Structure 1
Amino acid sequence: MTKLSVNINKIATLRNSRGGNIPNVVQVALDCQQYGADGITVHPRPDQRHIRFEDVFDLQSKVYTEFNIEGNPTPEFITLIKKIRPTQVTLVPDAPDALTSNTGWNTVTQVSFLTDVVNEFQSLGIRTSIFVNADEEMIRGASQIGADRVELYTGPYAQDYPKDREQAMVPFIAAARLAKDLGLGVNAGHDLNLDNLNYLFSCIPWLKEVSIGHSLISDALYMGLEKTIKAYKNCLNPPESTILT
């Protein structure tokens, strides 16, 4: 079963736009779990433009499903993770001024740095995932580093999906198959939505997890949070898959 982890960064963005505590990030996380989300994802950035470090501590005792914390492993981020000890850490190579995540790690040139970080987190019992492009060389690098999983950056898939969804999936199927063969779990995230999620899942039914925030929260403005989460979950439970494992 592919798990749905709801990224609640956009809830914090809305809250921060006015100050105060409306909407309440912790309550939304509780609601998401009650409505069927299999996990909660947050991505605290150094400028704390949305999720703040204090939010992560507030959420620590409230996330009873899986807690996934994304981020660039700066010293401050590493210290945070060591204190929180979430279910999973997803390492993302965000530049401080990046508007949103837009590429994966180079697991070849960054092998030494990433190996040290992964080893440190794994020694604390934290599952580690490395955010990578759908590139077979980067998948092999993640395997050599010793990561538990990779998260495929699906931005290019989402961009090309309206033009030719089969062609858009080609590099992702190859990358996911290689990761599976190397013993890596496969996650996916970025720009996934109700239009393109089911096809991704039907082509890669061994996905462990998808992390979705922007589109899901946007859909919830029209559909309501409970119905939206159910709709996304339905995309991950089709009657049969297009490509067999």
Structure 2
Amino acid sequence: MTKLSVNVNKIATLRNSRGGNVPDLLKVVADIEDFGAQGITIHPRPDERHIRYEDARKLRDVVTTELNIEGNPIDKFIDLVLEVQPAQVTLVPDSPDAITSNAGWNTITHKDFLKEVIGVFKEKNIRTSIFVDPETSMVAGAAKTGADRIELYTEQYARDYEAGNMHGIQPFIEAANIAYELGLGINAGHDLSLRNIKYFKDHVSNLLEVSIGHALICESLYLGLENVINMYLHRLK
């Protein structure tokens, strides 16, 4: 079964909009795990507009499954990850003012930088993943950095699926196959939803984990958080 890691950035965004502690991020995280999710993902940004760095520190003692911290490996982020020591760190090349992640790494151009950063995390036995576009050259480049996994950036797949273009899955199939051959674990995330997750899971081999936040929280407004998490788990079996 592919694991479901729930990105809780949107919970923090809602909390921050009123300046208090409602909803209580730590309580929601505990509930999400109780409902069956196998991981929690956070993506703290330098301006802390949703997940705060202090949230990451508190979650270290709350998460009982796997904590995945995503972000651009600037010095402040690297220090946070080394302090918290999550199960996994996912390196994402987003700019400080990015609304959301919008591209994968060029693993060829940034090979030396990624290799250096990954080496720092692996010294602490933190599993490393690199956010990449579904291009075989980028996957091959990721394998040369020492990363444990890649996370396939799935926005284009979601757009193609919504438009009825089932051939849009092909680059992801090919990227996953190359990754597996090169010994990389395969994660995926961005714009995956209840509508498109099963088709992706059924066609992309050796998928270890998906990270889903925005769609899952939006769907939960209508269907309920516990119900939605179990709907994802059913589709990921």
TM normalised by structure 2 equals 0.99
Residue of structure 2 equivalent to 1:26: 26
Greater Cα offset, 204-213 or 39-48: 204-213
Residue of structure 2 equivalent to 1:104: 104
Give the Cα separation in 1 of the matches to 2:93 and 2:112.
15
Deviation at 1:161, TM superposition (A): 0.7
Residue of structure 1 equivalent to 2:221: 221
The list of structure 1 runs, each at least 4 consecutive aligned residues, that deviate by more than 4 angstroms after superposition, is: none
Q: Deviations over 1:22-67 (max 9, x none)?
A: 0011111000000000000000000101000010011111101000
Q: Deviations over 1:67-126 (max 9, x none)?
A: 000000000000001100000000000101111001000000000100000011011000
Deviation at 1:164, TM superposition (A): 3.5
Matched-pair contact (CA < 8 Å) for 2:173–2:205: no
Is 1:139 aligned to residue 160 of structure 2?
Answer: no
Alignment of 1:92-131 (within 5 A): 92-131=92-131
Deviation at 1:204, TM superposition (A): 1.4
Give the Cα separation in 2 of the matches to 1:117 and 1:132.
16
Is 1:5 aligned to residue 5 of structure 2?
Answer: yes
User: Which 5+ residue runs of structure 1 have no aligned equivalent?
Assistant: 238-245
Give the Cα separation in 2 of the matches to 1:199 and 1:191.
14
Deviation at 1:235, TM superposition (A): 1.1
Residue of structure 2 equivalent to 1:78: 78
Alignment of 1:37-186 (within 5 A): 37-186=37-186
SS at 2:144's partner residue?
Answer: helix
Deviation at 1:166, TM superposition (A): 2.5
Alignment of 1:194-205 (within 5 A): 194-205=194-205
Question: Letter of the aligned partner of 1:164 in structure 2?
Answer: G
Give the Cα separation in 2 of the matches to 1:216 and 1:74.
28
SS at 1:83's partner residue?
Answer: helix
Question: Letter of the aligned partner of 1:141 in structure 2?
Answer: G
Matched-pair identity in %: 56
Deviation at 1:165, TM superposition (A): 4.0
SS at 1:51's partner residue?
Answer: coil
* Aligned residues: CA RMSD: 0.7
Residue of structure 2 equivalent to 1:233: 233
Q: Deviations over 1:4-34 (max 9, x none)?
A: 0000000000001110100011111000000
Question: How many residues in Structure 1 have an aligned counterpart in Structure 2?
Answer: 237
Deviation at 1:163, TM superposition (A): 2.5
SS at 1:208's partner residue?
Answer: strand
Deviation at 1:200, TM superposition (A): 0.2
Give the Cα separation in 2 of the matches to 1:68 and 1:225.
20
Give the Cα separation in 2 of the matches to 1:234 and 1:193.
13
Give the Cα separation in 2 of the matches to 1:62 and 1:89.
17
Give the Cα separation in 2 of the matches to 1:168 and 1:123.
38
Question: Letter of the aligned partner of 1:181 in structure 2?
Answer: E
TM normalised by structure 1 equals 0.96
Deviation at 1:206, TM superposition (A): 1.2
Give the Cα separation in 2 of the matches to 1:200 and 1:165.
13
Give the Cα separation in 1 of the matches to 2:198 and 2:165.
11
SS at 2:169's partner residue?
Answer: helix
Residue of structure 2 equivalent to 1:212: 212
